[in-house]
């Protein structure tokens, strides 16, 4: 999304209330009151009418996604206002609710406010001007909530596209890394899901997986793409990429939480990893998860100096290195999930859609054919 596209989208969001009339549902069993309410709001809002709660509920079922606010009488036959509002709260919680009532008992009103998520109640007989102000305030609340939701959706999508752009910067530099970050992320998400981690935590792991190798953008191409084993000096240069990645990620405020995860994905359970020689649970959990996924993908992908290993050989290596290179419990779980991991390796697009929080911002064409190795 370009800055112009985003600006246009935000302009639409921020001017929504100026371009469209909001829809208000009015509910009252007395025809005279209904007509008074109609005259009070005619011309300013799109009006829907109902004569009792049950009839109004049918209107909400049909038009609930368009209704911004409901003004309802309390005492009505068939279904009273508070009972109707309880149903609305369950089915369409975004709709603002105003109750007209002749009852002033504190307990009843407090219960109505809490149980129905009531925005305001107006005592009958009502003053039309007071009701107008209450409705205007309610519409403002609805518009603000709607606008914020759309606004943050736009920002969220822009943020994720930025993440993909950063990740793509690395993948276009090295043919091996083309699709590597996505595959590592996919395997990490499968493992994280099995650990019953929260959605917000898994979302951060997804971003960390995509960016775990971003420090390699600073690596010389002759080292990054070398068609053979690295010399000790070259490997020393390559080992700097987790720290470089941490520094890149730290510059993005929203990503500061995951910077340690990016830095730690080459640490080893026995303390012989890099850059800090962390040991055991000193290594952040996401770093331990990504390390497993990263190693598995490295083994099952074709490298400049060797062809891909089979899934079975890679799983055997993970078993062998449990407790030394890898968290033993996570390694055991990874092996337990080996059939699912293998299926995801062979059909990454389908599985990524199942686990991804980034959704439509993913370009599945960059999954490398290396994943199809037997």
How far is it, in rounded angstroms, from Cα 349 to Cα 179? 11
In 3D space, the residue among 43, 366, 354 whose CA is nearest the CA of residue 186 turns out to be 354
Catalytic: which of 66, 161, 216, 253? 216
* φ, ψ (nearest 5 deg) of residue 322: -65, 130
Angle, vertex CA 33, rays to CA 32 and CA 35, nearest 5: 65
Question: What is the number of other CB atoms lying within 10 angstroms of the CB of residue 20?
Answer: 12
The answer to whether the CB of 354 falls within 8 A of the CB of 192 is: no
Distance between CA atoms of 205 and 285, rounded to whole angstroms? 10
Residue closest to 303 by CA, chosen among 215, 174, 214, 172? 174
Q: How far is CA 74 from CA 78, 85, 213, in A?
A: 12, 10, 61
Query: Which of 200, 77, 67 is closest to 142 using CA atoms?
Result: 67
Q: How many CB atoms are located within 10 Å of the residue 104 CB? A: 9
Cβ pair 99, 74 in contact under 8 A = yes
> Using CA atoms, how far apart are residues 70 and 138, in angstroms rounded to an integer?
9
Q: Would residue 216 show up in a list of annotated catalytic residues for this protein? A: yes
- By annotation, the residues acting in catalysis are 216
């Amino acid at each position: 999304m370009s800055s112009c596209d985003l600006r246009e989208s935000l302009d639409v969001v921020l001017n929504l209330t100026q371009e469209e009339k909001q829809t208000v549902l009015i509910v009252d069993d007395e025809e005279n009151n209904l007509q008074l309410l109609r005259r009070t709001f005619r011309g300013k809002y799109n009006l829907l009418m109902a004569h009792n709660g049950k009839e109004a509920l049918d209107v909400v079922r049909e038009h609930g996604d368009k209704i911004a606010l409901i003004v309802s009488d309390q005492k009505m036959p068939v279904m009273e206002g508070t009972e109707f509002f309880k149903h609305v709260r369950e089915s369409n919680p975004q709709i603002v609710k105003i109750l007209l009532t002749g009852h002033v008992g504190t307990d009843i009103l407090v219960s109505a406010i809490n149980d129905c998520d009531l925005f305001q109640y107006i005592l009958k007989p009502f003053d039309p001007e007071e009701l107008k102000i209450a409705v205007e305030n309610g519409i403002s609340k609805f518009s603000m909530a709607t606008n914020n939701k759309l606004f943050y959706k736009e920002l969220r999508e822009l943020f994720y596209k930025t993440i993909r752009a950063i990740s793509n910067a690395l993948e276009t530099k090295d043919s091996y890394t083309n699709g590597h970050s996505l595959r590592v992320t996919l395997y990490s998400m499968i493992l994280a899901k099995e650990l019953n981690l929260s959605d917000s935590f898994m979302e951060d792991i997804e971003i960390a997986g995509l960016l775990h190798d971003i420090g390699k953008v600073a690596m010389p191409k002759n080292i990054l793409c070398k068609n053979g084993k690295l010399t000790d000096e070259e490997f020393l240069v390559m080992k700097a990429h987790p720290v470089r990645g941490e520094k890149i990620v730290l510059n993005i405020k929203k990503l500061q939480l995951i910077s340690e995860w990016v830095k730690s994905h080459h640490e080893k359970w026995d303390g012989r990893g890099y850059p800090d020689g962390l040991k055991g649970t000193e290594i952040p959990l996401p770093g331990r998860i990504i390390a497993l996924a990263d190693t598995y993908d490295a083994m099952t992908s074709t490298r400049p100096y060797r062809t891909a290993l089979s899934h079975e050989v890679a799983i055997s290596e993970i078993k062998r290195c449990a407790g030394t290179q890898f968290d033993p419990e996570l390694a055991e779980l990874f092996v337990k999930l080996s059939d699912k991991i293998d299926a995801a390796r062979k059909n990454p697009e389908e599985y990524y859609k199942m686990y991804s929080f980034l959704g439509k911002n993913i370009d599945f064409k960059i999954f490398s054919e290396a994943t199809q190795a037997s």
